[in-house]
Amino acid sequence: MEVLVQAQVEQAISKEAKRLRELVEELGPATTNAANLDADYKVASAQARITARVNGASSDKRAEDIAMVQTEEQRRACLLAEANVSTLREALRASQARMSAFQSLLSSIVRVT
């Protein structure tokens, strides 16, 4: 019975290691994408504020409001990308915790046998 349990834990470790690699591979490009979208949004927002002021926005607040409306889609894309990075990081931490638990379980099984 212990051999079967040990084999099952080893299989779970293998699957979790694969999942960890996948998450790490996803996290890099997702982080780069989020950073690029954030930079694009900030530039577009600044350009929209300048344009609003040049076109006679009555106050800085009005220029901010105009810029917010004009860059709404970029901001939404930026927030979604940041949420994706956060989700991937949380999944990575959870996967690391599962891997640690499986390794501890395997260690206890090996010590007993």
Dist CA 102 CA 47 (whole Å)? 52
Asked if 103 and 110 count as a contact pair (C-beta separation under 8 A), the reply is no
The predicted-structure confidence for 7-49, as pLDDT tens digits, reads as follows: 899 999 999 999 999 999 999 999 999 999 999 999 999 999 9
pLDDT tens-digit readout, 55-85: 999 999 999 999 999 999 999 999 999 999 9
